[in-house]
Structure 1
Amino acid sequence: MPRLRHALPGRLRARAGPLGPAPPAGAARVLSGVDGRDGPLRAVTFDCWGTLLFERDPGHAQRVRVEAVVRAARRGGVALEAAAAAAALEAAWRRHFDAWHAHRATGSAEMAAWTLDAVPVDPAARPALDRELARALAEASLETEVAPLDGARATLEWLAAGGVRRALVCDTGYSPGRVVRELLARAGLLDLLEVLAFSDEVGVPKPEARIFEHALRGLSARPQVSVHVGDLRRTDVAGARRLGMRTVRIRDHYDDPSDHPDADHVADSHAHLLALLAPLAGR
Structure 2
Amino acid sequence: MHRDLHAVTFDCWGTLIYEPKREQGALARREIFRKCLQQHGVEVTEERASDALREVWLRHWREWQAGISSDATDMAGWGLEAFGIHERAAVERLGCELAEASLEQEVRALDGARETLEQLARREIRRALICDTGYSPGRVVRQLLQREGLLEFLEVLIFSNEAGVPKPNPRIFQAALDPLGVGPEQALHVGDLRRSDIAGAHGMGMRSVRIRWQNDDTSDLPDAHAVVDSHAQLRELLHLDGS
Alignment of 1:1-283 (within 5 A): 31=1, 35=3, 40-121=4-85, 126-278=87-239
CA deviation after TM superposition for structure 1 residue 236, in Å: 0.3
Higher relative contact order (CA 8 A, sep 6+): 1
Measure the CA separation in 2 of the matches of 1:84 and 1:230.
34
CA deviation after TM superposition for structure 1 residue 199, in Å: 0.3
Measure the CA separation in 1 of the matches of 2:69 and 2:170.
14
Measure the CA separation in 2 of the matches of 1:167 and 1:120.
41
Measure the CA separation in 1 of the matches of 2:155 and 2:109.
17
- Relative to the length of structure 1, the TM-score reads 0.83
Measure the CA separation in 2 of the matches of 1:175 and 1:48.
11
Stretch moving more, 154-163 or 137-146? 137-146
| SS at 1:234 equivalent | helix
CA deviation after TM superposition for structure 1 residue 128, in Å: 2.1
Question: Mind listing any 5+ residue stretches in structure 1 that lack a counterpart?
Answer: 1-30
Measure the CA separation in 2 of the matches of 1:91 and 1:127.
20
Q: Would you say the 8 A contact 1:137–1:174 is kept in 2?
A: yes
User: Structure 2: which amino acid aligns with 1:160?
Assistant: A
Measure the CA separation in 1 of the matches of 2:212 and 2:128.
19
CA deviation after TM superposition for structure 1 residue 275, in Å: 1.2
Measure the CA separation in 2 of the matches of 1:127 and 1:254.
36
Cα deviation digits, residues 234-281 of structure 1 (max 9, x gap):
0100001110100000111111111110000001110110111128x9
User: Structure 1: which amino acid aligns with 2:36?
Assistant: A
Question: Mind listing any 5+ residue stretches in structure 2 that lack a counterpart?
Answer: none
Q: Would you say the 8 A contact 1:62–1:140 is kept in 2?
A: no
Measure the CA separation in 1 of the matches of 2:182 and 2:143.
26
CA deviation after TM superposition for structure 1 residue 120, in Å: 3.4
| SS at 1:218 equivalent | helix
The answer for the alignment partner of 1:18 in structure 2 is none
Cα deviation digits, residues 133-155 of structure 1 (max 9, x gap):
10111111111110000000000
| SS at 1:130 equivalent | helix
Could you tell me the percent identity over the aligned residues?
Answer: 51
Q: Would you say the 8 A contact 1:78–1:120 is kept in 2?
A: no
Measure the CA separation in 1 of the matches of 2:101 and 2:23.
11
Structure 1 runs (4+) deviating above 3 angstroms are none
User: Structure 2: which amino acid aligns with 1:142?
Assistant: L
Cα deviation digits, residues 179-208 of structure 1 (max 9, x gap):
000000011000000000100001100000
